[in-house]
Structure 1
């Protein structure tokens, strides 16, 4: 069951968010399969990026953790346990368990490496012989979401640390010969405005998916967004009650998709054609192939199917590959449109005349 107590924090419901279907889908797929590698969301200011991410955390079901553990250690999964918890289990101790909401951690722009990774009290470690470790934000984010707004303005070194931890699932802090290692498995979500600078290509490539969000131009949709926000601000609890059934349905689909994911099959022919798309686009490395495969499987699981279809690949391929393309400053075509054109060529589908309409049709 979702942790409904979060309604007290007045989070706008995920089910009530209008538009931005590509962003919402990318976020859902990453919580179904965190191995996809996170989401980079680039777009205009005021397009609901932060609102949607916080709504996602509020949507997710609670997790069981070892009571009092600062790393949100799982009671029954060694890969998600701190060394202290494993030692207690090795000594035969029965650990108390409690239910917690999925952690949602914001990384402020001014954060230091110590704030992110944690600090070791060297003096205490040397004088008392104990590992005096103060956990950082990576520890708090374990088994949850780590959100970095304006990630393109974050120091590159910190971005490297984030991406390394997100990829390995562990955070290691070493100071003066003292080393501490703890689990740090989280869905990394970055957002930013391209007008304020872009990430280096080699860093951008390590985000599993990339989404471009734009300001809604349709007048009726804009009015709908404004009306919903006004109603929510006036009566958060009443508004949440109106969409509670839809919210519960989405949450249940996510839980079922996680359970189904391991049994979803991806036909060898589809895998070959996915790799053909990556080759045709001159995508460096194999991350694009791997992420597209994982995202397509997660989407099939979300849709309640045990086998990936071409339409699943069509819906995720642009998000998985657009940020991995080599940029040509003289080329006018949007990178997502380039991906769609090559997809249509490899999958022998008619190329759409209106790319935006094509994406909207896939999302509906």
Structure 2
């Protein structure tokens, strides 16, 4: 039997229901408002099981027929969450991966630990295959796991065929904390229902100060990263379009320059302008103007801030209030890449979600960082 001492004056021992040898505790309004206390009270498997812990809310889902969808998430491996990442990912991705055609990761530098012990098996159980730049694992245990590869990984779903994997293009300009990392851009062509989709993954320079905040060297690196990415994407599409005419070009990742749907001149858009890429990519503000379907966990700015919630204090917690690092998925403009305008767009974000019995969304106990994933679903126009 597990004895629990709750926070504050809420102290009592709940009856234990023995089900096949496991302990199941009564989930009440106190526990629903105190994810830490609930985490301490129950077995870890019970904490991550939404049927036993109704505070866990699965994130956005999406329809599959006639659509192509991509989810992107910076998994931020630099905290000790490897062992339990499968459980956390189950909740943080939620229903997204049940129909996303391609899932992009960044910061998966130590593939042997992160991938083999973490999401690889979990994603395989959902019918996903994994690809990495060059097809190799990277594990540089002696000199640092970030030194020998890009940290970029893709998973693609059964029913979505891999057509071609491109060669990673390392960025030529990085600075600050990123000088020892092989930052770059990478992509692949996928086929679904007779149509071809070009999907690219990246993680731009953070440098000394992220998010295009005025640090000259860091901002210059990000602008260079965007210019190089655009040239790389254009070259790959142009070299393959005759054999594999694109229905969509999607470019996802952590750009370290936040985009917003309610700001026509966000830092992300400023990055596009300074890299002369605004005529090549649509971004969240454009999606809003296209009447994109907004996910239920989003604020009007397509940013999943945890309004009204507590700061995560878990063993892997990195979040501080509403400060967050957003992935983004950009869509190539039809005129720039030679395909028809999309018929329908949906755009959303996700992160581990805990809702109380009164509907307040809070940080759960066992999150790992301040990153938010992004998901886009597009119905091609032809």
Q: TM-score, normalised by structure 1?
A: 0.26
Larger strand percent: 2
Larger helix percent: 1
Q: TM-score, normalised by structure 2?
A: 0.25
